[in-house]
Amino acid sequence: MVGVHGETMYIEIRNLTVKYKDITALENIDLRIEGPGLIQVLGPNGAGKSTLLRSIAGLVKPQKGCVCINGKDTTANPRLAGRSIGYVAQKPEVSKYSTITVREFLCYSYMIRRQRWPRPPCRKLLSSNELFINEDILDRKLTELSGGQLMKTYIARSLMSAPSILLLDEPLGPMDPASKLEFADIINMLSKERLVLVTSHDPIILLEYTDRILLLNKRLIALGSPSEVLREEILSKAYGRGFREVEYHIHLFDSHY
Amino acid sequence: MRSSLSYRIAIFITVISVILSIAYIIGNSYPIEWFFTIVMSSTAMGSLSILIYTRRLRYLAASSPHAAFLAAGLGIVASVSIGGNWFLWTIIIGMVLVYVAGYMIYKGVDPEDSASIFVAFSSSMGALVLYYVLTRYSYGVSVVSIVIGDPLLSSLEIVAYSIVIGLLSVIYVYSVGREIIYIGSDIDDARLAGLKIWLYDWSLYTMIGLTTIGLVKSVGFVLEHVYLLLPGAIAAMMCRGVARSITFSILVSILSASIGLLISISLDLAPSAVSGGILIILFVISAIMKGR
Ligand SMILES: Nc1ncnc2c1ncn2[C@@H]1O[C@H](COP(=O)(O)OP(=O)(O)OP(=O)(O)O)[C@@H](O)[C@H]1O
Ligand SMILES: [Mg+2]
pLDDT tens sequence across B29-59:
999 999 999 999 999 999 999 999 998 888 8
> Does B47 fall in a domain?
yes
Find the domain containing B261 and state its range. 2-286
3-state secondary structure of B98: helix
DSSP code of residue A8 = B
The residues, ordered by sequence, that sit 6+ positions from B292 with a Cβ below 8 Å of its Cβ are: none
Atom of ligand 1 nearest to the CA of A51: 18
Biggest CA–CA distance in chain B, Å, is 60
Say how many Å lie between the CA of residue A25 and the centre of ligand 1: 6
> Does B101 fall in a domain?
yes
Q: Which residues line ligand 1 (CB under 6 A)?
A: A 20, 23, 25, 43, 45-51, 90
> Does B83 fall in a domain?
yes
The residues, ordered by sequence, that sit 6+ positions from A14 with a Cβ below 8 Å of its Cβ are: A30, A65, A66, A68
Q: Which domains does chain A have, with CATH numbers?
A: 1-84+164-257 (3.40.50.300), 93-162 (no CATH)
Gyration radius of chain A over CA positions = 18
- Buried b or exposed e, range A143-179, using 16+ CB within 10 angstroms: bebeebbbbbbbbbbbbbbebbbbbbbbbbbbbeeeb
* Nearest CB to B189; choose among A87, A104, A141: A87
Specify the pLDDT at position B272.
86
DSSP-assigned states of every residue in B180-208: HHHHHH-HHHHHHTT--HHHHHHHHHHHH
Percent of the residues in chain A that have a pLDDT greater than 90, as a whole number:
51
Percent of the residues in chain A that have a pLDDT greater than 70, as a whole number:
84
Say how far apart CA B101 and CA B107 lie, in whole Å.
Answer: 10
Say how many Å lie between the CA of residue A170 and the centre of ligand 2: 7
Specify the pLDDT at position A116.
60
Query: Of B73, B91, B72, B71, which is closest to residue B136 (Cα–Cα)?
Result: B73
> Does B11 fall in a domain?
yes
Phi-psi group of B115: left, alpha or beta (phi > 0 → left; psi -120 to 50 → alpha; rest → beta): alpha
Q: Between the CA of residue A60 and those of A82, A194, B104, what are the distances in Å?
A: 13, 23, 20
Check if the beta carbon of residue B245 is closer than 8 Å to that of residue B47: no
3-state secondary structure of A10: strand
For residue B244, which residues of chain A lie inside 8 Å, CB to CB?
A: 99
Say how far apart CA B194 and CA A56 lie, in whole Å.
Answer: 15
> Does B292 fall in a domain?
no
| Start-end of H helices in chain B | 2-27, 33-54, 58-81, 86-106, 111-136, 140-148, 156-185, 187-192, 197-214, 216-219, 221-238, 242-267, 271-291
Q: Between the CA of residue A158 and those of A113, A171, B50, B108, B186, what are the distances in Å?
A: 12, 12, 25, 26, 11
DSSP code of residue A214 = E
Q: Given CB atoms, is A227 within the 8 Å cutoff of chain B?
A: no
Model-wide pTM > 0.80:
yes
CATH number of domain containing B208: 1.10.3470.10
| Start-end of H helices in B215-241 | 216-219, 221-238
> Does B257 fall in a domain?
yes
Say how far apart CA A233 and CA B258 lie, in whole Å.
Answer: 75
Say how far apart CA A215 and CA A204 lie, in whole Å.
Answer: 14
For residue B200, which residues of chain A lie inside 8 Å, CB to CB?
A: none
> Does B110 fall in a domain?
yes
Check if the beta carbon of residue B224 is closer than 8 Å to that of residue B98: no
Looking at the complex, report in whole angstroms how far the Cα of residue A256 sits from the nearest Cα belonging to chain B: 39
Number of domains making up chain B: 1
Strands ordered across the beta sheet of A195-199 = A85-88, A165-169, A195-199, A37-42, A212-217, A219-224
Say how far apart CA A215 and CA A239 lie, in whole Å.
Answer: 10
What is the residue with the minimal CA distance to atom 29 of ligand 1?
A: A46
Say how far apart CA A101 and CA B34 lie, in whole Å.
Answer: 38
Residue A199, strand partner residues: A41, A169
Q: What angle do CA A237, A240, A246 make, to 5 degrees?
A: 90
Say how far apart CA B196 and CA B176 lie, in whole Å.
Answer: 12
Say how far apart CA A180 and CA A183 lie, in whole Å.
Answer: 5
Check if the beta carbon of residue B193 is closer than 8 Å to that of residue A62: no
Say how many Å lie between the CA of residue A158 and the centre of ligand 1: 22
Please list the pLDDT of chain B residue by residue as tens digits (292 residues).
Answer: 455 777 888 899 999 999 999 999 999 999 999 999 999 999 999 999 999 999 888 888 888 999 999 999 999 899 888 988 888 999 999 999 999 988 888 888 887 888 888 889 998 999 999 888 888 877 666 778 888 888 777 788 889 999 999 999 999 999 999 999 999 999 999 999 999 999 999 999 999 999 999 998 888 888 898 999 999 999 999 988 998 999 999 999 999 999 999 999 999 998 888 999 999 999 999 999 887 6
Q: Between the CA of residue A219 and those of A42, A238, B191, B225, B235, what are the distances in Å?
A: 12, 9, 27, 50, 49
